[in-house]
């Protein structure tokens, strides 16, 4: 029986992925910062404590999980704010959670996969990394960073039977809008544009695809004999990635801004 570890399995995409893995017969570990909280539990999933902002917690989680064949780096913080007003400590926390924690967890679990000659690592990125959006620079940069690590590691790990993919969801209706962290000061000169972007972002999320659909794409990456570098799902991904290949960057930039009322 293969073992999978899904970070951030207490809600949304992570919970749906953990359920899909259980249904496929995997032994599944999930994580939450508060694994004892009512509502965090997913049937059939063994919940471990993990706070990606805390390096010791990442080490302890990897040790508790033991041998893992499939790692889904899903947990993440959704942060918004104009570049000028993002506090340095907020950017640092975001990168600890979305990038450094995921990279460290991968470093700790890859040696076992390599020794056993099989592994799958999936980074849950965001389509915003491919289509950057105003007032979301820190988040866009963090998702581009994990994609960079994943893309580079593919050639390093393929000879050992380890597939590495990035899944870029578009808008997904998980309620993440309520959990975003915001950094836009009262009286900020960016307030109007920020609020407009946010209104559209939240409306897009409310009309977004289901977490189960993203979990289906993650399962495709896990089960592929030769996993692709990038899977995108939601927000008309096939159309917009097609446009990305033919349109000038400035036209794409305008399209993304218009979709968010800017």
Positions marked catalytic: 139
Nearer to ligand NAP, 3 or 204 (CB): 204
16 backbone φψ class: left, alpha, beta (φ>0; ψ -120 to 50): alpha
Check binding of 167 to ligand NAP (CB under 6 A): no
Nearer to ligand NAP, 148 or 188 (CB): 148
Check binding of 10 to ligand NAP (CB under 6 A): yes
Least distance from C-beta 103 to ligand NAP, angstroms? 14
Nearer to ligand NAP, 107 or 192 (CB): 107
Residue among 3, 17, 32, 80 that touches ligand NAP (CB under 6 A): 32
Quote the CA–CA distance of 201 and 209 in Å, as a whole number.
14
CA 109 to chain centre: 18
Least distance from C-beta 74 to ligand NAP, angstroms? 5
Check binding of 74 to ligand NAP (CB under 6 A): yes
Nearer to ligand NAP, 60 or 114 (CB): 60
SS (H, E, C) 160-200: HCEEEEEEEECCECCCHHHHCEECCCCCCCCHHHHHHHHHH
In the shown chain, the binding pattern of residues 192 to 231 toward ligand NAP, with x for contact by CB under 6 A and - for none, equals -------------x--x--x--------------------
Check binding of 137 to ligand NAP (CB under 6 A): no
Task: Return residues touching ligand NAP (CB under 6 A).
Answer: 7-8, 10-14, 32-34, 40, 50-53, 74-78, 97, 124, 126, 169, 171-172, 174, 176, 179, 205, 208, 211
């Amino acid at each position: 029986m293969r073992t999978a570890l899904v970070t951030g399995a207490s809600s949304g995409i992570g919970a749906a992925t953990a359920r899909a893995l259980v249904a496929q017969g995997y032994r599944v570990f999930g994580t939450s910062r508060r694994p004892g909280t009512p509502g965090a539990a997913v049937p059939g999933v063994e919940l471990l404590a993990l706070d990606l902002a805390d390096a010791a917690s990442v080490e302890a989680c990897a040790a508790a999980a033991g041998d893992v064949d499939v790692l889904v780096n899903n947990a993440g913080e959704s942060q918004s704010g104009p570049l000028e007003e993002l506090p340095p400590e907020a950017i640092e926390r975001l990168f600890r959670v979305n990038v450094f924690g995921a990279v460290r967890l991968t470093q700790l679990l890859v040696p076992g996969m390599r020794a056993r000659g099989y592994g799958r690592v999936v980074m849950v990125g965001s389509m915003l990394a491919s289509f950057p959006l105003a007032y979301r620079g820190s988040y866009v940069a963090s998702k581009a960073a994990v994609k960079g690590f994943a893309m580079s590691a593919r050639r390093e790990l393929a000879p050992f039977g380890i597939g590495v993919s990035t899944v870029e969801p578009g808008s997904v209706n998980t309620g993440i809008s309520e959990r975003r962290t915001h950094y836009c000061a009262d009286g900020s000169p960016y307030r109007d544009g920020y609020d407009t972007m946010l209104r559209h972002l939240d409306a897009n999320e409310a009309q977004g695809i289901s977490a189960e659909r993203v979990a289906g794409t993650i399962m495709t990456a896990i089960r592929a004999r030769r996993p692709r570098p990038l899977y995108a799902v939601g927000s008309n991904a096939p159309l917009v990635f097609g446009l990305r290949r033919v349109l000038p960057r400035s036209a794409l930039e305008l399209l993304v801004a218009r979709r968010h009322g800017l």
